[in-house]
Structure 1
């Protein structure tokens, strides 16, 4: 009986899907800067820590807004005179009431500190984001250096083989052969150093993003950054930076605490009501019992709380002013550095890379034509290698400056 086409197609699709999955599992997963940041920020331990910081502040808000529990009291008195005993029982339920609004103001102050804790958590996220971006760019720059040095070693190995053949036929002096070999070994040593740095950079990046196999990361993206936003735009959004926003919220919380302490003239009243029972001999009477407790603000008038809240507000405002001035200066300096380095890297890439490739072609053609010797060819290779590595260093420096600028100004623009 012939197999149904539908069933055959189903099995064919299943086989293709399994083969594709197996190929995907064996291939490195592409990773760009945004993926690295997303994976670094989504690590469970970091998410748990950030949530715990906010929950600690939220617990203080709950405590500040919470009403005191009612209190139940019972008293028993008994007198035994010469005659029948007299007993008296009083059961009272009492509750304290805040008529001044202090509890609400203290709750509002605690709420501001919850927002400040959220801002501090955002600052930690900002630090992790910058750290992940630096680790990614560092690994990407190391990959570029390794690739450049591997290409240089391959070129020198080709030259060494050609010079060895010519030396065997007597066309090249032994010094030239040894000079080429020395240059090749020097390039190999530099390659070993850079491969070690690459392994370390990959391991650091893998730890930040929660990857288990650093070698399975296929980094993608351009090392050179784009030009930064205008300085006026960065300065305008600077007050919303998480740590500066947290200081502003702390100052507001201190002001609310001082306001709450300033309402000392209206005390907290405690009202109670219950039942009173009196037994004297064979008689038993009961009735209603009421009580009111009003503290007299004679000595404790909120002096410490008012001073503490006012001091906290003044200290936070002072730190905010100093931090804002320092941040404006840092952003201005980093913006100038990032702009200059990005421009320098762009100019060097447009001119230097083309000149380097042309220099290599000219040197190789001249060597094949017998116009220059081995030393001139090696000098051309070395100049091209230095130019390529200098471009990587310029782009890496420009990327670091841009990351520092984004971190100092409150985060990379979305």
Structure 2
């Protein structure tokens, strides 16, 4: 009854009018980083890819520890000359089982367990990278939208200046050159405004790609403060955190352990086990029934692990080299990214502090000076463009600072690019 009443209410004309308003309000309020990341997690195809890889690694670990299946043998003998066999011949049925006395399956399972840990690290790195890509795209979209605002304000200022110039030209107190000059400035500002709008479309496209199929859920503008600079922790603190928790370094350590365990597998496979067979026969002689057992013992004469053990040792050395290279390169990249983030933040703060008040004063002085006849249209247009360029520079530095913070967290939490064979 409640559901029916609710459906009836929503179907009413009043509710149909309120619903679009609610959607518009939601669009106006925009979306947060948490909402964008949640939309990515709900529908991005690489989530299924990571889950499938985890299932694959788990199944491999299970399969690696299994013994070989038993085998059933059927043998039939028929005497053709000077035989004591039964007339119908002799039938022998046996069951054979390979016994891995050197625990090869357990050793293979150990290798697979380390590989499963490595895959888990790869998946964690992939998913965290997707989250940071969403944040990076959101910063880009927020910057593009703010750029449109700056160009729009500059265009409005120039149009106001154009109105002032046209009035003075019409009154005969200013030359027609002033009207032509300010008109060209307005046309250029309008072109820049339209170009900035196109950049917003491109930035929104990059965000949609980062979020995936559910990007349509994100309405309005991203709620993110580009000028909220965060304090960068000391590099020593970040380095310890990175070494302990970065997933690709953990995956490299797991692959090193897997390579070391593979040396033990290669050694065990020189003598992998023995074969045991239990058999029963009928017809060796008239009415004769036999039972028996047999053992198969491999002789490691021709193959004694030549090459295989050395190959496993070489792979372990290679994995150790990769792990050490990753750690070294990660530390170097972290120091560089840390320094860049600090410098970007400082540059943004200093420029904003020095330029914001000066830009507003410059615009007011230019308009007042032109109306009093002390400045030309060139200075009037130059003032508007200078204010615009100053605000764009503020925005550029703030965006660069936020992206530098994301890059620092990328190095700290995701990594990539340091491996020699990438």
- Matched residues in 2 for 1:267 and 1:335: separation? 52
Structure with greater proportional strand content: 1
Q: Give, in angstroms, the shift of residue 347 of structure 1.
A: 2.4
Structure 1 portions without partners, runs of 5+? 1-7
1:4 aligned partner: none
- Matched residues in 2 for 1:373 and 1:165: separation? 14
1:150 aligned partner: 152
1:227 aligned partner: 231
Deviations 1:350-380 (A, max 9, x none): 3322222233233334444555443333232
Q: How does 1:6-405 map to 2 (within 5 A)?
A: 19-27=17-25, 28=27, 30-81=30-81, 85-86=85-86, 87-209=89-211, 210-211=213-214, 216-224=219-227, 225-239=229-243, 240-263=245-268, 266-280=271-285, 283-405=286-408
Cα RMSD of the aligned pairs, angstroms, is 2.8
Deviations 1:199-258 (A, max 9, x none): 111122123223565994322111234122221121112223222222111110011110
Q: Is the 8 A contact 2:40 2:215 kept in 1?
A: no
Say how many residue pairs are matched.
404
2:419 aligned partner: none
Q: Give, in angstroms, the shift of residue 53 of structure 1.
A: 2.5
Tell me which moved more, 297-306 or 284-293. Answer: 297-306
2:418 aligned partner: none
- Matched residues in 2 for 1:192 and 1:221: separation? 23
- Matched residues in 1 for 2:372 and 2:205: separation? 47
In 2 relative to 1, CA 67–21 (structure 1 residues): closer, same or farther, beyond 3 Å?
farther
In 2 relative to 1, CA 267–145 (structure 1 residues): closer, same or farther, beyond 3 Å?
closer
Q: Give, in angstroms, the shift of residue 334 of structure 1.
A: 0.9
- Matched residues in 2 for 1:142 and 1:271: separation? 74
TM-score, normalising length: structure 2: 0.87
- Matched residues in 2 for 1:231 and 1:320: separation? 21
- Matched residues in 2 for 1:96 and 1:83: separation? 34
- Matched residues in 2 for 1:24 and 1:147: separation? 25
Q: Is the 8 A contact 2:98 2:273 kept in 1?
A: yes
In 2 relative to 1, CA 96–120 (structure 1 residues): closer, same or farther, beyond 3 Å?
same
TM-score, normalising length: structure 1: 0.89
Q: Give, in angstroms, the shift of residue 120 of structure 1.
A: 1.6
Q: Give, in angstroms, the shift of residue 340 of structure 1.
A: 1.1
Tell me which moved more, 371-380 or 15-24. Answer: 15-24
Q: Is the 8 A contact 2:142 2:221 kept in 1?
A: no
Deviations 1:370-399 (A, max 9, x none): 554433332322221111000011012112
Structure 2 portions without partners, runs of 5+? 416-422
Deviations 1:33-63 (A, max 9, x none): 3333332343241111112223333343233
3-state SS of the aligned residue for 2:315? helix
Q: Give, in angstroms, the shift of residue 79 of structure 1.
A: 1.1
- Matched residues in 1 for 2:308 and 2:347: separation? 57
- Matched residues in 2 for 1:20 and 1:214: separation? 19
